């Protein structure tokens, strides 16, 4: 998101333009913000896979320029630590929130001599790419490998198998953001710094058809 670009935030601040950061992992102190707890959401998804019996879980990171990426990776690591599972570098691949980067990351992970039984991608586009790579390798999803995403974009329910993912309440986030802007605009005497609210909304783990108990233990 643009709200992770420090120069953009600074320019808005200096110009006195009211702004709200939406879906950032770490909101700038001078901006109002609406988000979910990306770390806890990723932790819950990883715990879900562990509860199914997965002990080798691959992870496709998001764009390093976006703070939510780091928070989601932190959640993945936290859940592994809680379960006493090692964080294995070979199971972690860099993505950039694009389908193309998801293809490359999934190829790297699934080319391992001992590939994981599950992959958790930092967004739905990269998870969809991982499913494509799995199908190209004649792997059944979720019979041979479980693949999960994050965001619950329309793509998540349009592909086959439909993605198990974390749902961000985008409409509610937009509504809250407009509400925070409205509060600032109704207090013009306070300038752009009149209301700096930080709103956290609930997320949901949406289970569909892309995850299952691992075929091997």
- What would the pLDDT profile of 146-184 be if each residue is shown by its tens digit? 999 999 999 999 999 999 999 999 999 999 999 998 887
Strands lying side by side in the sheet with 20-22:
20-22, 32-35, 198-200
pTM for this structure?
0.92
DSSP H helical ranges for the chain: 6-15, 38-52, 67-82, 99-110, 124-136, 154-158, 170-185
Instruction: Give pLDDT tens digits for 3-28.
Output: 888 888 889 888 988 889 999 888 77
Locus of tokens 């972690």 = 92
Question: Which residues contact residue 74 at a Cβ distance below 8 angstroms, ignoring those fewer than 6 apart?
Answer: 39, 42
pLDDT tens digit sequence for 24-79: 888 777 788 999 999 999 999 999 999 999 999 999 999 999 999 999 999 999 99
Cα separation of 155 and 162, whole Å? Answer: 8
Burial readout 152-189 (b: 16 or more C-beta within 10 A, e: otherwise): bbebbeebebebbbbbbbeeebeebbeebeeebeeeee
pLDDT band at 189 (very low <50, low <70, confident <90, very high): low
């Amino acid at each position: 998101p643009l709200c992770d670009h420090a120069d953009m935030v600074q320019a808005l601040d200096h110009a006195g333009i009211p702004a709200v950061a939406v879906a950032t992992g770490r909101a700038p102190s001078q901006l109002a913000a609406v988000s979910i707890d990306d770390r806890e959401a990723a932790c819950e998804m990883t715990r879900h896979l562990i509860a199914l019996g997965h002990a080798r879980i691959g992870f496709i990171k998001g764009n390093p320029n976006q703070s939510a990426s780091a928070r989601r990776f932190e959640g993945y690591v936290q859940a592994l630590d809680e379960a006493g599972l090692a964080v294995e570098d070979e199971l972690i691949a860099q993505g950039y929130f694009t389908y193309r980067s998801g293809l490359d990351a999934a190829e790297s992970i699934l080319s391992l001599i001992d590939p994981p039984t599950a992959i958790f991608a930092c967004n739905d586009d990269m998870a969809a790419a991982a499913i494509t790579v799995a199908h190209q390798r004649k792997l059944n999803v979720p019979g041979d490998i479980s693949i999960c995403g994050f965001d619950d974009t329309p793509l998540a329910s349009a592909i086959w198998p439909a993605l198990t993912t974390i749902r961000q309440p985008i409409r509610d986030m937009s509504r809250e953001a407009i509400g925070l802007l409205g509060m600032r605009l109704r207090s013009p005497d306070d300038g752009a710094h009149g209301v700096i609210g930080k709103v956290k909304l609930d997320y949901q783990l949406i289970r569909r058809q892309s995850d299952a108990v691992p075929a091997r233990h």
